[in-house]
């Protein structure tokens, strides 16, 4: 039999767990103090199979300089390692953002980063002010406003309404009695050390991506005791400003992808003059926006929206976060240019995860405390105006300053950190820095800046990779795993030379759907699957017409009862457990229960049966407009043919 179930990583997790806009750490080194223990409690998710997971809260001072003052609670989860060669030093994940939620995605994160903790505990926590931690500085006013403005044609009006929503969020948080000045990176760095002590670990390994890399630098700076090793991806140096920097790093990454296509004979042949086409479609859609319906792939919610040139820029930026989607960027641009907006509309929906993925109140507190130290609005304005007009917002530049980070921070009730906070980190702690070639917000040169000040650092750039460096990247994961085994020595990085770089999605001739036999000795199974579909994981077959194609067939046999497997599958799919059976029928070798599910934006068909202590399942994920055809041509043949080898 195979393992119980592999866990896929939604784009949202890949991007939230190791993503996005990172900023700096805050002011002065904090005074050590006694740390309360770990208060166990129920996990906010269902635990699968025989996994050992503990959840609860670590209670820490609101202000680590005032250990007898008010306290806050940090939501924490520990995936316990029970392997025979267990190591005592865990991996602690520092989520991105700032403000990225992670505890509710613990099991998916544990699956993604399994090579990092194959013989170690894996610890995740929602940073102060984030997610399930108490309090959480959420800004639903802003989230609702952003979604309501998806069909707003005037970017200046959108800026003002978003700013007013942020101010409304500020007022509500202050009225609740939250002191926003304590939600910053320096306090969070002390939290990490507090978690180490509360959970009883002598040594820890840190993994931080994007803002998590900044938090890692702050922990190394302020609390080096007990740190065995550090892995950083999507690295943002302490001395930089995200607010100012991304005005140029994002356009630069877009143009580097376009240049990579132009330098590739096949890509250039399929999508000639791509930069001109890109700029032309941006100009065209900014003048004549196209109404679309954007669908959130996680919830299935639909929104009236306008496809503008600004939307195209935003979509391409988000695509650069996820390595597989980089390959489809030229195709998406060209199809939009030719009047086919299907993939661009899909990307618009895929981008909606950004709206609710972060606790914005915490994010603004970090930005306003740390990111703008020593920076002037004129710097951002100059950076903004230094790039081609198509690669900056069409909103009034002065309004972008007044209603953007500088404007918000003039009105956010925190004090700016001491200028010394911007000093580069100097440390001899063993550190691995992995960066992606096409990262739009933390480009490779940022990682080089950090590595230059470290006495024991290994820096590597991964070709063809975006912001999410470890998510789904076998080479990066193998390097990180080898580093954790022996941080004193340089890890084997020979796999980097074998990476193909970006393999662009090129036009393909339609192929006839053919079903062919398969056998799996590991799962003791035989059956039928579509020919040519890629088996990315054991018994998980992806059609892969593009990186945005959701079509996949998953089947397996497990040592669980049918009811247990049903609950596991629904938990994994995040489907209401009260879903009713659509039918029961004899198909092929078994009598199956059939279910018709909706997972986010996509229909999913499930067949489930049990025979002599073993349960079998077949899952088909389909695009909405192809569900009926794929049900007949793929799902039913797979169900009818599934059987044990013997």
pLDDT digits (tens, 9 = 90+) for 504-532: 999 888 788 999 999 999 999 999 999 99
Contact 495, 460 (CB under 8 A): no
Spatial neighbors of 425 by CB under 8 A, at least 6 apart, are 217, 220, 221, 237, 238, 450, 453, 454
- Per-residue pLDDT band for 10 (boundaries 50, 70, 90) equals very low
In this structure, which topology does domain 515-644 adopt according to CATH? Protein Transport Mog1p; Chain A (3.40.1000)
Dihedral, CA of residue 132, residue 136, residue 137 and residue 141, to nearest 10: 70
Per-residue pLDDT at 574: 81
Pick the CATH number of 18-506 from 3.30.420.40, 3.40.50.1820, 1.20.210.10, 2.60.120.200: 3.40.50.1820
**Distances, alpha carbon 126 to alpha carbons 48, 234, 334, 398, 408, in Å:** 21, 19, 40, 35, 24
pLDDT digits (tens, 9 = 90+) for 218-227: 999 999 999 9
Instruction: Using DSSP, state whether 534 is helix, strand or coil.
Output: strand
Per-residue pLDDT at 163: 98
Per-residue pLDDT at 34: 45
Per-residue pLDDT at 287: 96
pLDDT digits (tens, 9 = 90+) for 551-602: 999 999 998 999 999 988 998 888 888 899 999 999 999 999 999 999 988 8
- Average pLDDT for residues 238-253, to the nearest whole number? 96
Per the structure block, which two tokens stand in for 566?
A: 């049903």
Per-residue pLDDT at 33: 45
CA 621 to chain centre: 21
| pLDDT tops 80 at residue 201 | yes
| pLDDT tops 80 at residue 468 | yes
Per-residue pLDDT at 17: 39
> What pTM did the predictor assign?
0.90
pLDDT digits (tens, 9 = 90+) for 211-245: 999 999 999 999 999 999 999 999 999 999 999 99
Per the structure block, which two tokens stand in for 10?
A: 């939604």
Fold: same for 18-506 and 515-644: no
Measured distance CA(248)–CA(446) in Å, rounded: 13
Place of tokens 């403000």: 99
Measured distance CA(41)–CA(308) in Å, rounded: 47
Q: Is 598 exposed, middle or buried (CB count within 10 Å of its CB: 0-12, 13-18, 19+)?
A: middle
Q: Where are the domains of the chain?
A: 18-506, 515-644
Spatial neighbors of 156 by CB under 8 A, at least 6 apart, are 395, 396, 399
Measured distance CA(521)–CA(552) in Å, rounded: 21
Spatial neighbors of 474 by CB under 8 A, at least 6 apart, are 495
Spatial neighbors of 639 by CB under 8 A, at least 6 apart, are 587, 588, 592, 607, 618
Share of the chain above pLDDT 70, in %: 94
Per-residue pLDDT at 96: 95
| pLDDT tops 60 at residue 191 | yes
pLDDT digits (tens, 9 = 90+) for 291-338: 999 999 888 899 999 999 999 999 999 999 999 999 999 999 999 999
- Say how many CA atoms lie within 13 Å of 151 toward its Cβ: 9
Contact 214, 238 (CB under 8 A): yes
Q: Give CA angle at 587 (583, 590), nearest 5°.
A: 95
Mean pLDDT of the chain: 92
DSSP codes of every residue in 95-138: --TTTB--GGGHHHHHHHTGGGSTTS-EEEEPPTBSTTSBSB--
Contact 558, 615 (CB under 8 A): yes
pLDDT digits (tens, 9 = 90+) for 122-171: 999 999 999 999 999 999 999 999 999 999 999 999 999 999 999 999 99
| pLDDT tops 70 at residue 176 | yes
Per-residue pLDDT at 36: 57
Contact 75, 103 (CB under 8 A): yes
Per the structure block, which two tokens stand in for 312?
A: 């195209």
């Amino acid at each position: 039999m195979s393992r119980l179930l592999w866990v896929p990583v939604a784009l949202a997790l890949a991007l939230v767990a190791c993503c996005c806009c990172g900023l700096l750490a805050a002011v002065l080194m904090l005074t050590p103090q006694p740390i309360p223990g770990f208060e166990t409690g129920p996990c906010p998710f269902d635990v699968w199979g025989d996994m050992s997971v503990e959840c609860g809260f670590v209670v820490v001072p609101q202000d680590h300089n005032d250990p007898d003052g008010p306290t806050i609670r940090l939501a924490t989860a520990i995936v316990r390692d029970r392997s025979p060669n267990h190591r005592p030093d865990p991996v602690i994940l520092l989520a991105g953002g700032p403000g990225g939620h992670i505890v509710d995605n613990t099991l998916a994160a544990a699956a993604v980063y399994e090579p990092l903790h194959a013989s170690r505990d894996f610890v995740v926590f929602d940073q102060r002010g984030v997610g399930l931690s108490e309090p959480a500085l959420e800004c639903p006013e802003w989230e609702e406003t952003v979604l309501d403005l998806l069909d707003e044609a005037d970017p200046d009006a959108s800026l003002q309404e978003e700013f007013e929503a942020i101010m409304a969020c500020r007022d509500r948080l202050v009225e609740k009695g939250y002191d926003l000045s304590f939600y910053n990176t320096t306090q969070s760095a002390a939290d990490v050390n507090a978690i180490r002590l509360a959970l009883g670990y002598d040594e820890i390994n840190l993994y931080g991506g994007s803002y998590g890399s900044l938090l890692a630098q702050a922990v190394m700076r302020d609390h080096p005791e007990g740190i065995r090793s550090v892995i950083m991806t999507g690295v943002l140096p302490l001395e930089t400003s995200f607010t100012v920097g991304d005005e140029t790093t994002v356009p630069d990454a877009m143009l580097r992808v376009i240049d990579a296509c132009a330098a590739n004979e096949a890509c250039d042949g399929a999508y000639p003059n791509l930069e001109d086409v890109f700029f032309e479609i941006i100009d065209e859609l900014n003048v004549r926006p196209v109404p679309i319906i954007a669908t959130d792939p996680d919830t299935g919610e639909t929104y009236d929206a306008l496809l503008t040139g600004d939307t195209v820029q935003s979509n391409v930026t988000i695509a650069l976060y996820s390595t597989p989607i980089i390959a489809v960027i030229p195709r998406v641009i060209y199809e939009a240019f030719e009047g086919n907006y299907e993939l661009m509309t899909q990307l618009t929906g895929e981008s909606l995860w950004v709206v609710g993925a972060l606790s914005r109140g915490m994010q603004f507190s970090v930005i306003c405390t740390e990111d703008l130290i020593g920076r002037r609005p004129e710097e951002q304005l100059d950076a903004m105006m230094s790039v081609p007009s198509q690669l900056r917002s069409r909103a009034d530049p002065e309004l972008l300053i007044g209603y953007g980070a500088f404007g918000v921070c003039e009105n956010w009730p925190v004090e700016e950190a001491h200028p010394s906070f911007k000093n580069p980190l100097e440390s001899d702690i063993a550190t691995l820095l992995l960066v992606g070639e096409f990262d739009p917000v933390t480009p490779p040169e940022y990682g080089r800046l950090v590595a230059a000040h470290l006495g024991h650092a290994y820096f590597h750039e991964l070709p063809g990779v975006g912001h999410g460096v470890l998510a789904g990247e076998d080479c990066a994961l193998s390097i990180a795993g080898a580093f954790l085994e022996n941080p004193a020595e340089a890890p084997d990085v020979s796999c980097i030379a074998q990476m193909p770089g970006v393999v662009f999605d090129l036009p393909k001739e339609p192929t006839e759907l053919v079903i062919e036999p398969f056998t799996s000795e590991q799962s003791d199974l035989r059956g039928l699957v579509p020919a040519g579909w890629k088996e990315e994981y054991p018994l998980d077959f992806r059609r892969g017409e593009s990186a945005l194609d959701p079509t996949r067939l998953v089947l397996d046999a497990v040592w669980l009862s049918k009811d247990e497997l049903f609950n596991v599958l629904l938990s994994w799919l995040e489907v209401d457990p009260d879903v009713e059976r659509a039918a029961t029928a004899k198909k092929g070798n078994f009598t199956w229960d059939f279910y018709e599910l909706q997972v986010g934006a996509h229909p999913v068909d499930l067949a489930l049966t049990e025979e002599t202590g073993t349960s079998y399942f077949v899952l088909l994920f389909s695009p909405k407009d192809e569900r009926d055809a794929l049900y007949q041509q793929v799902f039913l043949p797979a169900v009818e043919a599934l059987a044990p080898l013997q």
